[in-house]
Amino acid sequence: MDTSDKNIFVTQPLLPPLEEFIPYLEKIWNNKILTNNGPFHQQLEAELSKYLGVKYISLFCNGTIALITALQALRITGEVITTPYSFVASTHALWWNNIKPVFVDIEPDFFTLDPAKIEAAITPNTTAILPVHVYGNPCKMEEIHKIADTYGLKVIYDACHTFGVTQDDLPVLNFGDLSVMSFHATKVYNTFEGGAIVCHDQNMKKRIDNLKNFGFAGETTVVAPGINAKMNEVQSAMGLLQLKTIDIAIGKRKRIAEQYRNKLQGIEGLKFLDDIKGVKHCYSYFPILIDKEKYGKTRDQVYDELKKQNIFGRRYFYPLISQFPTYRGLESAKPGNLTIAEKITEEVICLPIYPDLDKITITAICNLLVK
Ligand SMILES: *Cc1c(COP(=O)(O)O)cnc(C)c1O
C-alpha cells in the first residue's frame, strides 16, 4: 500500500473530543481559578493517585522541572549515577542542580541501567542513583535498591515512559524514594505539557508542594528557594478528561505492538523487545534493533528508507546523552565505558505507535521492513 499521501510520525497525541473539553473550560471561566492548586488540580491529584495506585502525587508543569525539583526535594548533591540511554532531560536535571552525572552502562535485555556496573562507579561524593524505566520497561529495581541501601544512596526513578505499569501487580511508581512522570503531548497520557512527582509520605508531599510554589509554606512563610512549577487548571482539566479513555488507549497500543511482533518475527537481523512476564506494560514505544551485518542494511539506511515513504520513525535514543558536547568530556562518558549503550544507540529505531494507528499502515510499515 502507498502511505506517501500522509506523514506517519512516531506518535500522535491522544486528544479527547473537543466538545467534551468545553464544559471544563466553562467551569474555569466561571470560577476564575486558573492555577495555584485549583479544584481541577486537586481532583486530578486524587484521581491519578487512585488510578496509578500510589499514595501521594504532586502535579507539575512538565516532567523536566519535576525531575529538577525531585533532586531538590531530597537535597541531592555531588555525584549521581545515571544512564546515558534516555531522553536528554534526565541528565539535564542533574546539571541544573550543579550535580555531576556519572554514566553507567545499560544491560543488554531492556536497556535500563545495569545494576552489576553501579558499584564500580560509586565514590565518596555519590549521593543518589537516577535510573530510567526506558520504553516503560521496569528497571532491575531489586538489585538497584540493594546497592542503594548498602551505600546509603537515594533512588529517583525517571518514570516518564511509564504510565500505569505494574510488576507482579505492584505499581512500579511505588519503588525508590521518588518517581518522576511526564505528561508531555508525546507521552501515553498527556495534559498538553505536564508532569508529576510520586512520593510515599505526607511530609515529602508537602515539601514538594512547597518547592513547586516558590517555597511558600504559608501566606508569609518561605521555607526554601522554590520554583514556579505548578500545573494549571486547563492542564488539569485535560488530565481529568484523558483519564476517562486511557485504558482504551493503552489497550489499542497493546494490540499495535502485537501486530508488529506478529509481522516482524523471524526477520534475520531485526530484533524487538518482548513483554516481560508479570509486567503490565503501557506500550509507550516500539523500538526495533537493526543488526547491520545480519540484516544487510544499517539502521540509518532503514530509517531513511522509511522516511522516503513518509514513515517517520525516531532514533530514540541516538546519540547517547553522554555523546552530546555538554557531557562528552566527563570521565564516565569516555568511549569504552558504555559499550552496550554505544552499540544499541547505533541499532535502534522506534516505530510509530499511537492509539489511532491503523492496521493498513502497520502492515505497510512491516512490509517495508521485511526483506
Ligand atoms: C519526556 C521525558 C522527559 C521530560 O519530560 P517533559 O515533560 O517533556 O519535560 C524526561 N525524561 C524522559 C525519559 C522523557 O521521556
Query: Is residue 228 domain-resident?
Result: yes
Number of H helices, E strands in the chain: 12, 17
pLDDT band of 28, cuts 50, 70, 90: very high
What is the overall mean pLDDT for the chain? 97
What's 109's domain CATH number? 3.40.640.10
Index of the ligand 1 atom closest to the CA of residue 89:
10
Residues 217 and 280 in one domain: no
Q: How far is the CA of 243 from the centre of ligand 1 (A)?
A: 19
> What three-state secondary structure class fits 348?
strand
Query: Is residue 1 domain-resident?
Result: no
As for ligand 1, residues whose beta carbon falls within 6 Å of it are 62-64, 86-87, 89-90, 132, 158, 160-161, 182, 184, 195
Q: Reply yes or no on whether the pLDDT at 2 is more than 80.
A: no
Index of the ligand 1 atom closest to the CA of residue 193:
7
Q: How far is the CA of 195 from the centre of ligand 1 (A)?
A: 8
Query: Is residue 3 domain-resident?
Result: no
> What three-state secondary structure class fits 311?
strand
Task: Round to whole Å and give the CA distance between 317 and 5.
Answer: 28
Index of the ligand 1 atom closest to the CA of residue 66:
9
Average pLDDT over residues 243-254: 98
What's 288's domain CATH number? 3.90.1150.10
Query: Is residue 4 domain-resident?
Result: no
Q: What percent of the chain has pLDDT over 90?
A: 98
Query: Is residue 143 domain-resident?
Result: yes
Residues 295 and 328 in one domain: yes
Last residue of a domain, one of 243, 266, 299: 243
pLDDT at 334: 95
pLDDT in tens, 139-172: 999 999 999 999 999 999 999 999 999 999 999 9
- Grid cell locating 291: 543488526
Q: How far is the CA of 146 from the centre of ligand 1 (A)?
A: 26
Last residue of a domain, one of 197, 213, 243: 243
Residues 208 and 97 in one domain: yes
Residues 201 and 269 in one domain: no
Residues 65 and 141 in one domain: yes
Residues 210 and 311 in one domain: no
pLDDT at 330: 98
pLDDT at 364: 96
Query: Is residue 122 domain-resident?
Result: yes
Q: How far is the CA of 62 from the centre of ligand 1 (A)?
A: 8
pLDDT in tens, 56-102: 999 999 999 999 999 999 999 999 999 999 999 999 999 999 999 99
Q: Which domain holds residue 197?
A: 18-243
> How many structural domains comprise the chain?
2
With cell 558536547, the residue in question is 325
Task: Round to whole Å and give the CA distance between 69 and 212.
Answer: 7
pLDDT band of 6, cuts 50, 70, 90: confident
3-state SS of 127-179? EEEECECHHHCCCCHHHHHHHHHHHCCEEEEECCCCCCCEECCEEHHHCCCEE
Query: Is residue 12 domain-resident?
Result: no
Residue nearest to atom 5 of ligand 1 (CA): 63
Q: How far is the CA of 192 from the centre of ligand 1 (A)?
A: 13
